[in-house]
Amino acid sequence: MEGCLIKVAVGRPVSGPFTYRLPPQMGGSIEPGRRLIVPFGRSRAVGFALGPDDGLPPKGLRDIAALLDDGPLFDAPLLKLLDWAARYYRHPLGEVLRAALPPALSGLDTPSTSPASRALAEWVALTESGMSASASPRGTRMKALLDYLRAAPEAGVPLEELFAALPSSSSRESLRRLIDQGLCRTWLADRQAAPINQHIAGQSSPVHPTSEQSSALDAIHEALDAGRFAPFLLHGVTGSGKTEVYLRAIERALSLDLGALVLVPEIALTPQLVGRFRARFGEKVALLHSGLRDTERLAEWRRLREGRAPLAVGVRSAIFAPVQRLGMVIVDEEHDGSFKQDDGFRYSARDLAVVRAQHQACPVILGSATPSLETLHNAQTGRYALLRLDHRVDDRPMPAVKLIDLRASHGHIAAAFPQLAGRIRMRAEEERVKQVAEPAVDYGSSVPRATQPVSACARAEDLPRAQAPLFSPELEAAIEATLDRGRQTILFLNRRGTSTYHLCLSCGQSLTCPNCAVSLTHHQLRDELLCHYCGERCPLPERCPTCGGRIERLGMGTEQVESELSRLFPSARVERLDRDTAARPDELTARLSAFARGDRDILIGTQMVAKGHDFPGVLLVGVLLADLALNLPDFRASERTFQLLTQVAGRAGRGQEPGEVLVQTFLPESPAVARVVGHDFEGFAARELAIRKAFHYPPFCRLMTCRLDGRDPRATAEAAHQLRRAAEEAIRRSTDALRLLGPAPAPISKLKGRVRWQMLFKGPTARSLVPVASAIEQETARLKGDVRVSIDVDSLSML
């Protein structure tokens, strides 16, 4: 038979590889990593060549339809990493390879990857009128463009970068209006010669390193110069200068003609960090994130692949960036959960960063003020080298943290909390039982579900009707004092909306989403109930849908806090930062820029305010309710609470004046809250690690979660037990000490109309769990109905 046989990974959710024939007219061989078009079923699909197939031709052998590009899109080290990731995370290799490419290259009708000329670019900058503080155009979009350009150098920014940061169909029209008003101008210039946008206020030129920074850099430079794999945990308190260590390590790598890769949790929320990279390295930086249009992401990917940009800065998916001669990998805020993909290809970018550095024989830096306990344990056991930055730059003091015990000031409400919490837990358990025993009920799209009362005891009328004040007297006084000094305040509450729980005071029923097993949140601006999981919207009924009783609004969110702040401090300039007010990049940029310039006095927000912002004017940070996430059914709840509180506390006192942090809590004795007072990460970690070891949880074991979801509650439950039997058989055959928890309904037992079950597996190593995963996959092929099954290796979410 003419033509050689080629193993191909098809970019579809199917196992493989598949064998195809390379027609003689396409040549005698094909390089691994080459993108192809192949016939698949009754259609065609994108595929990737893996190498020759020396076996016998299969029946129904088909020809490769076309070769794309001038050569392979993945070099050997990157192809090795992707193959490793597909096997480790148990995902089809073809889909993994597609996920590693820009979206513009993932379809059948894709552009060429050959180099394109980009000698000239259109630039934009403010005029003198635009720089004036009095210039204030109408419209959110125009203000966002103006704010972005005011944060840039006077020489301007590339037009494509401006539109990438503020993607919208109306951005071009808004820019035209700014030009017509004489607030900015555009021109053509040499792209390489022109300066780049810094996008921040901050230090762009190198500063003299502290002694701690110098010691850390000495260790990093030694490994870099030697060209060896060396994982480092850079554990530095907030404000200790971790970013400067990153910058100098990258400078060293670039001086050796090596490339570097920097992963950040979310570029839109960390513009200051990204801006410092752009300010220091200019055109050498390629940005990779979802805010770019497909053509712009492709252009940045090309710059990396062709070696014109040696430094990639991006979010989770940038771990697959085609950086040439990779010599340094950095993961900032390595503890952040956004580095783990929670659907589809469920990979951890942080863990793959370590694997990629190992494959490329180069150093990898994992930086955090609150490292994950898995990373800390690796440093304690010698797998990673520990580099410490224990002091803030210029010996600025850490902010003083004080706990405010809400039980003392709101004892009557606190006394009812256990009663209310017990009712909620009983109701959740009742719902899980009902989902197994009863068919799903369609409650309609416009009527909130009212859950049935559990019992006649602990009736809703007995609960206090008074809502706890949002601000304790101490916090209210501190806000007023900060305003009097002309300084800024950040208030943190990790919950959106106005009220988050709605209870009938007559029959004890609560309003929940008809599609999900969660409460509906009231949003005052639209005056409607909203499910934050599926997006279901409906009016808030004046009376209970079942008995006509009065509905009490409980809980609080950022929208309610904003309203209360306006009442208490009518002259204060308040900004709210959450997914409701900053859903688009331009909105986020406008709000952050206004606060950074000092145009706002108080910033209230969710965890978006806890990211790596550096606002020197912030002297006060207030945490309105520290214990929101402590009672979640997740063994990492305490760790995540401590991390979040520490990160948000670190926003205070980053200028010349010392800061203060006030933490309101009903659980001041909880270690996750109490240890924040002394910035005592070591004490918290030691206690938490002891608990994890006693109960056999990571980092003292490896986790794997099997999740199922389906529309039929009974069929989904039966499928879960069918997979359990297959898993138990694999466990019996194993020589390793494996443990199985479940199956059981997931804590969030229904999402988007589908009931959810899960099983949790523990093993001494990741390899020990492979036979169990294989057994589940084999049994999944025998399942009937619409039940979907997924396997999550090194799972983070327990909900």
Three-class DSSP labels, 51-83:
EECCCCCCCCCCECCEECCCCCCCCHHHHHHHH
The tokens describing 105, both together, are: 């290259």
Beta-carbon contacts of residue 673 (< 8 Å; ≥ 6 apart): 403, 626, 627, 630, 641, 642, 645, 663, 665, 667
Average pLDDT (690-704) is 97
Kindly indicate the confidence band of residue 109, based on its pLDDT and cuts at 50, 70 and 90.
low
Residue 677 scores a pLDDT above 70? yes
585 closest CA partner among 147, 133, 102: 147
Beta-carbon contacts of residue 87 (< 8 Å; ≥ 6 apart): none
> Regarding beta strands 66-67 and 449-450, do their DSSP bridges make them parallel or antiparallel, or are they unpaired?
unpaired
Residue 428 scores a pLDDT above 60? no
> Regarding beta strands 230-236 and 157-158, do their DSSP bridges make them parallel or antiparallel, or are they unpaired?
unpaired
Contact between residue 249 and residue 261 where contact means Cβ atoms under 8 Å apart: no
Written as one letter, the residue type at 219 is A
* Most trustworthy range by pLDDT among 190-204, 483-497, 544-558: 483-497
Angle at 232 between CA 285 and CA 288, to 5 degrees: 25
Residue 412 scores a pLDDT above 50? no
Question: How far apart are alpha carbons 386 and 370 in whole angstroms?
Answer: 13
Residue 171: the pLDDT is: 78
640 phi/psi in degrees, rounded to 5: -70, -35
Kindly indicate the confidence band of residue 438, based on its pLDDT and cuts at 50, 70 and 90.
very low
Task: Tell me the average pLDDT of the chain.
Answer: 85
Written as one letter, the residue type at 492 is F
Residue 719 scores a pLDDT above 70? yes
Average pLDDT (346-353) is 97
Residue 464 scores a pLDDT above 60? no
- Torsion angle, CA of 679/682/686/691, rounded to 10 degrees? 40
Rg (CA), the chain: 28
- Minimum mean pLDDT range among 449-458, 535-544, 617-626, 734-743: 449-458
Residue 336: the pLDDT is: 94
Average pLDDT (69-97) is 94
Residue 608 scores a pLDDT above 80? yes
Beta-carbon contacts of residue 308 (< 8 Å; ≥ 6 apart): none
Average pLDDT (135-159) is 76
Question: How far apart are alpha carbons 326 and 316 in whole angstroms?
Answer: 17
Specify which residues 510 forms β-bridges with: 503
- What proportion of the chain, given as a percentage, has pLDDT over 90? 58
Residue 205: the pLDDT is: 55
- Minimum mean pLDDT range among 35-44, 47-56, 332-341, 586-595: 586-595
Around Cβ 798, how many Cβ atoms within 10 Å? 16
Q: What is the pLDDT of residues 281-296, one digit of tens each?
A: 988 999 888 767 788 8
Q: Is 229 helix (H, G, I), strand (E, B) or coil?
A: coil
Residue 443: the pLDDT is: 32
Q: Is 283 helix (H, G, I), strand (E, B) or coil?
A: helix
Residue 55: the pLDDT is: 81
- What proportion of the chain, given as a percentage, has pLDDT over 70? 85
Q: Pick 469 or 477 by higher pLDDT.
A: 477
